[in-house]
Amino acid sequence: MPKNDALLVIDVQNDFCEGGALAVPGGSEVIAPINEMLKHSDINVFSQDWHPSDHSSFADVHPNKNPFEVVSMPYGSQVLWPRHCVQGSEGAVFHKTLNVNAAQLVVRKGFRTEIDSYSAFFENDHTTVTGLHGYLTSRSVKSITLVGLALDFCVYYTAMDARKLGYDVTVESHACRAIDLDGSLDAALTQMKNAGVVLK
């Protein structure tokens, strides 16, 4: 990859892989291609879902609500998820076969109790920043390649925010897997294409 390109590895954590609390079908299949791409990238950033145990996106903190129901939050609609990636838990750890040593920065997201964070750039209010844009700017990054989990949620929202911030964005689909919740994959692919994201 060119010197001013960054590889963003999104949420390759135990809870999103097989056997995890919010397993993405085929989640661990992304690891081998990601590890190969890390060998050829100079700027590597990992994101990590990092929720407090009482996080507002967990279905079990809402009486009479079930996972995958949608509720209204002050910042907009929010899918309620099974409890996952709780801070310090085994589920929140990066998958053991992922080359974590290649990461130069780990961006933790979703650690504020009252708001979820899909994108590695912003919380779901689209206002509260994670600091990733500042870091990439300081390293003169112009282009971003995205890989990881899940294609139709955290990868998608990161890609869309990156485009709004002016980056050239490529999503390497072979190194992503999707949840595909009620057509979310097709919707995400269409919106990414329309926003100028290159899908490979």
Q: Residues with catalytic annotation?
A: 11, 109, 154
Residues 7 and 44: their CA atoms lie apart, in Å, by 5
Start-to-end C-alpha separation, the chain? 15
The span from the CA of 1 to the CA of 186, in Å, is 28
Coil, helix or strand for 185? helix
Q: Which two tokens stand for residue 21?
A: 């609390």
> For residues 19 and 119, what is the distance between their CA atoms, to the nearest angstrom?
24
Asked if omega into 102 is within 30° of 0 (cis), the reply is no
